[in-house]
Structure 1
């Protein structure tokens, strides 16, 4: 999964320099070790990990959140997490993965088809995701994807992009004022710039993050000994469950069809990464709503 890595940083370098002058913050570019994509980064990994730990505690302390203690739900999640984390510690993200203080929680919520991994290695899996994961290999595809978001520092990149976007709007606003533009027209222009920034810059980057997490997450799952073909099946099941989704152009996620096609294209790269004993599907996950 290679692409033109440079425009994301070089197109905003002048603005990043300006923001550095006014905020005395740290601005720079990092390169994704798997895709060679350049990422604008205005926060440190330590700051990200601190924010991740805070956010994780907020989730777990929410009175509406019920943590599962059922071994039928907890044990397979922790088993998959351990193998994916071990693969991450031997991956191109090894330095960061070994700095993370990994934690794994299972949230009892059969209606939520989701999981997340925050910077610092804080992982939560909602039991609702069992319905589309079906087995441990499917869950490995989901967890690998989420872990990559944290390891690839997509959250820090996203925060940096938002700062740049807001900075660009501020510069535009000052420019309109200096030019003596009518306030009503100026507000309309600002609204248009806001939409342009959201659709033209921020959303495509978010789609790029999702595809990057799909790609590298599949590789990690294979290295952990899970059949990477289950990633394709997970998204085929997800597509069947999704009745209405927004247009890909206006979505932060690739369309299901795009995702499935890309995963199929990456399989020849993922399959050879399976360990000597091969990749398997693992145990079936418990059906949701069980007692």
Structure 2
């Protein structure tokens, strides 16, 4: 089985290269075709050029497409709506149409930003969407484009993604924690920190079950699923947990004081959802998968950073 992984330089894409390599042939795709420290086959695939995707996909001839590429600059998207829509919606539709014609299944990642960010109960896949940002609108349009393509697909909505590498909240907190004695962090946005490794390992598990099913079952299981770790916290709670663990393992000499603030105290160009807690019942029951508490993933990433020192 040949698996094409787009966005192979991103947090989730890098983790997927490792989690899926044992299950078949993997082709790593990035915008310029380069991936550092990878011995797998690589190819150039630019989602900013949707019209060129069909020819590239025909040349690669994958058996399954895992689309981990996206325009993820949430604030910059407010001033680049056309580019965000091109990458997150038009290109996803192009991938889906080629996949439908070729009979190739697609796994695609979406986001909590498709919701309006209100409520106090975990959000189900069937709950009303209503993005409040350009990024959220573009990702929701991508979901619709893939669904309308008629390709067999899994849309995995996730949230608050972080990793030991790349640009993310955890790495920013560790950097600031080493520089400052006091930090202020938003405490009225609720969600679930989810490691890229959890997303990748869960994807491998789900994909195995999905592809092993007969055609009718696979088609029936197509659709949207929520994929995040267990539990919930706030950005402030996440920051405090990062600092505590970093001090315990020696990544930080001392923990800075982490003080809570509100979203209005920290304005950004794009509106962040206040409520991003996703209900994962559907994916757990459909594919018989366990999703550990977010603290388990944090411990694993901290251990990885400790070992890399």
- What is the TM-score normalised by the length of structure 2? 0.25
- Structure having the larger proportion of residues in helix: 1
TM-score, normalised via structure 1 length: 0.26
Greater per-residue strand proportion = 2
